[in-house]
Structure 1
Amino acid sequence: MPRTTSHRNFFPTSSGGSSAAAASGSSRSTSCKSPPPPRDQSRRKVRKMGILKVVAENPIVTVAVRGCFMCVTVNSLVQRLGVNPKMIEVEEMEKTAMLVKLSKIEGSEGGPWELPAVYVGGKLLGGVDKVMEAHVKGEFVPMLRAAGALWL
């Protein structure tokens, strides 16, 4: 019984490694291209709605740089508390433009200087240091309850 293996295009072929194109005698590869990566629906929604509206409509919003360890740490803390924050991830090269947009939000007193930036109830709480400080002092959970992000 021939063994089947999966190749790059995820279509099973016989163990001899011959594909349908090779079996037909064609030297051109007729394999299907892999599908494009899924589009980030959240990112497109943020662009369409505007960052100001996203922050105003969600109880907790975390604006983060993709792959940033401190951003992941803040998000993990919030999720461990039982809250599912609205995450907005930007690439490193988009960081400055995002900080300029965030500085235009009312009540943020000039906006954040660094990412991650955590907004609770439409107001800037701060970055990692402010979130951790509020958590250690026992003020973070009451903030989340007041914003409607946590019910218990």
Structure 2
Amino acid sequence: MGHLLRRLAPLLLCIAVVGGCASLGDVMDLSKRVQDAGYRDVSVNHSSNNGFDSLSISASGKSGADPDEIGRIVWDTYPEHIDELRLDLDGKPLVATEAQLRSAFGDRKVTEKPDDDEAAAKQIVMWVGIGIAVFLLLVIGVIILIIVLVRRSKRRRMPPPPPQYPPYYQP
């Protein structure tokens, strides 16, 4: 069983990476938008824990830095679902929930991607199941091939018996 898990580990890793690529692109785009607004040393991280999505942003502000400006950039341009925004602007931590962001900035101007943590987990389980099924079918095919070849080798014709010599006559 351990051998099977070692073979499936790269498949699981690929599925996880492909699933995370879209979010990574969105995070990078958001980081660029915050930098374009004049902030330095921008760090953006989107984490999800048991379906709770938290977006953390750390930045050094320009003169007259306004945390609401970054909040609006996030709310209006970041398409991923967020339950909480954690902002660290010039060492001052601020936390805002989704409800607080909605009341401060109104409806989102960007179409929010569905919060699909459960759907992604189901898809990973489905692909792992398909991978296991294909692997088992290959193993069964190899076993059948071995059985057929072994039986065929036993069915080969026996070599003809040595010719019968006449019995020895004694004079």
- TM-score above 0.5: no
Q: Whose RCO is larger (CA < 8 A, sep 6+)?
A: 1
Structure with more helix by fraction: 2
Report the TM-score when normalising by structure 2: 0.27
Report the TM-score when normalising by structure 1: 0.29
Q: Say which one has the larger Rg.
A: 2
